[in-house]
Chains A and B, each alone.
Chain A
Amino acid sequence: MSIMGTRVRRVEDPVFLTRGATYTDDLTDERLSGALHLTFVRSPMAHARITGVDTTAAREAPGVVAVITADEMDLEPTKHFPAVPDAMARPWLAKDTVRFVGEPVAAVLTEHAYQGEDAAELVEVDYDPLPAVTTLKQALADETLLFPEAGTNLAVAFGGEDEFSDDLFADCEVVVTQEIVNQRVAAAPLETRGAAAAWGEDGRVTLFASTQNAQQTKGEVAGWLGVDPGLVHVITPDVGGGFGAKIGADPEFALVAWLARHVGRPVRWNESRSENMTGMLQGRAQLQTITIGGNRDGKVLAYRLDVLADAGAYPRIGVALPTFTRMMAGGVYDIPKVETRARVLVTNTTSTGAYRGAGRPEATAAIERAIDLFAAEIGKDVAEVRKLNVPPPDAFPYTNKGGAQYDSGEYAKAIDTVLEAAGYQGLRAEQKARRERGEVLQLGIGLSCFVEITAGGMTAEDATVEVHPDGTVTVLTGTSPHGQGHATAWAMLASEKLGIPVEKITVKHGDTDLIPKGIGTMGSRSLQTGGVAVYQAAGELADLAKQRAADLLEANVDDLEVADGAVRVAGTGTSITLAELAEKDQLRIESHWDGQMPSFPFGAHLAVVELDIESGKAVVDRILTIDDAGTILNPLLAEGQRHGGIAQGIAQALLEEVVYDADGNPLTATFADYGIPSAAELPSFTLLTMETPTHLNPIGAKGIGEAGTIGATPAVQSAVCDAVAHLGIRHIDMPATPLRVWTAINAAQNGSDA
């Protein structure tokens, strides 16, 4: 029986649940013996000129080995995204100017970790405050510039205003426009950032780092240090969550390696939660203006999305994400005319990067709000309008207006499935009854339909599979996990081809000496790239085994089959185990897989909220989701991904927001202030099944990692808006906190009184 599609329990969990994982900060590797501990002095100001740094007292503090400032560093400021103005390069330690709260100003190295904070407090930095740019509209005004030499706060623009046509909505009976906020959120992985570096006598550095992709980290760190990549060995121990914010290397990683070389001792660094909430890349942070037009019969004819995106102080990967937002702007809808542009601006805030969905949730949120607003304007049901505008199944492969080719999809069926499972008509009747009775707890129903892009841009991975003489198997993969369950899934894929149980298969990842090639885990790409590479390599290994066995068994290759870890002559008792073959000659295959094209998972989410009209508090009562990611390899793992994504989606809709005051001080830098959810804020999720395979790979799988955040966020936001729609409210920005909802209700009621 095939292992594919079965609920194999995670092989990772026994250790995680007993001894615990080994994170970067837990390492006892002998290469790190005698390591110094790095503590950063970070800027408490969002924008200021540095007029003096005095390290005298800090250098004399107990345990201090070195205090390094920009003056002692020989690394040039570096751009962390190529297409931005040169002036926006980031110094490794701030020299003349600080541009966000949390920017490293000095590095303190101590014998023990606890000595670092005491010494860091003794570094005296004089700041001359500058006006802070904290909002996108302020940044756009260019009145205060973060980088005066650049002459603008604009980091990069995608699409120009001249691409907007004057007559885009000329044919439309109805046009609706709305400015909407896709707020800044923090990735907040439970394991904060960490790195440790030790230089060997051979001139190579071993860098242990908490990252989603060791190989990219190696390349980046080597480039920043100006050394041959062959001199950098990156190892990722267990990684406790990343959510996109641990893609590649952080500048701090290079500093750790540079400092270790500078002082001639190993250096380790693990940030505190407070540092993480200002230092780690944050996500979303778009201000969108949507305009949608169509006819009163419900057909959408034109859509425009104009994006301002926040790069934070120093442009990093977040700068590129609006390209995904633009590409996916039209969502699941077959809209004749779509126009988009995005301008990415620097502000005196933490830099932005990928966050679970990375550009696609922003697109989905915008178009789903637009469809709701359009439906409200023409007085039609939101489900009906959606179904009227999606392409039929026979339209696939379907090329959208952003140029993306959707491989497969059945959008109307996804919508119908959630509507039916939710008892949509009954919910609407209940909603109507509560409104008529004027109940305090009103019902809101939110529907979203989404399509997203997985394995976007990077469709290839390598894999190595080797059977050992003892019958065990080693799999090497370039996609390393940070919670997803690769060790289980990849073992299943090898087991399927070799008939060797998963318990005998070890999946290795995240060591660049052992596995030089790899792109990593991000963008919901792993299974359809790294996983398929393993599946392909294991298949090729089975073929190789058959060829070798053919001679030994004096049989025709075509009569051989691989099952239960052995090559058998079909229909006979004659066989030889893979272990025996491996004993005679190394049984190992390296394989390269390239799917060439990204895949496009899709789905529909329906959220039901109960909203207390008096207090403004919305609670998600139910959420039902279709997350069609093609053929599912392991439902247990897929459900885990959906659960986590849905939770984060609900949290963005209702709770989470990184907030700065007008001076650029972060107001949400602790978990007391930042609204990450607990189980108490979430209902049980109803996961509905739909599997539309992709033709792009042999296992039919698309990506599942980010679907939850993409679908759930607009569904919940929409449900909140729907709960108060009868009061004349059309839109409430996220997060729909009690205060924000109550303010909207209050304004609507005062407006109607007037």
Chain B
Amino acid sequence: MQRSRWTTLLFVGPAVLWLAVFFGAPVVATLWVSLTDEQGVDEDSKFIGLANYTRLLKDPYFIDTFWVMLKILFIGGAAVFAISFLFMTILREMRFKRFARAVMFAPYIVIPVALAILWGVLLNPQTGLLNSFLDLVGAGALKRVWLGPDWIFTSVVIGLIWLSTGFYTTLLCAGVDRIPAHYYEAAELEGASRWHQFVRVTIPMTWDVIGTAAVLWVIGAINTFGFIFAFSGAGATPDKRTWTPAIYLYLETFDPLNGSLSYGYGCAIAVMLMLLVAVSVALIRRAFRREAVQF
């Protein structure tokens, strides 16, 4: 159908303009700033090439945050996906399925700070609900200093699992619900066991959804910020054992407690994060690539 060029521009223009100014330009600028020693708004900066990046690779703090991120990504991810698959299969044939799903999903839409406060209240060693509950049921021996150095990271990861699982369970459930029942009926008639149905019907037919879920988890895990920032810092600088690259980046660039603000260095971290996301997403997409199944 005929349409003037102006019409197209009218429809697409505002979004493109907005993206150019508040998305495209900042990304390019971040790339540039990461190559400078930008210290602050009023400071002069000069081009220092890849110095920020070489410093990054030798920075023990950054390397620590990188490990934290990897642990969240893989250990947390394994737990989230294992539990989500379990929940998906159990929810499918459970009563009050919608209610259970709605409750599980709820943390995903709640302010991360509020979740962090809740989680903190639960785990506070002196006044926390968990320890008081353990006392109540006579299992005082299991009490731990959950927010202390030994346990803080575990507590964070379990918290992340708690607030993420509902989302991924729902995502997988949505994928399974789209599979027409007759595939299962046919499999049943052919004598396939439930295990075979899971492997031969459920997994292949939700393959795309699983791939999407994996992509989302990776993006989320690499950028983990709000929950940890609020939880392990209780409103102040978070515990170093739980710093993720995103938190480190924020502290390097904006934390008033930190003496020297280094925008250039922060931007280098941001670029690393972006590259990491891009590479991981590309890898996952490749791993999950196959011909689309129509059903």
- Is the pairing of A and B real? no
* Residues of B in contact with A (beta carbons under 8 Å apart): none
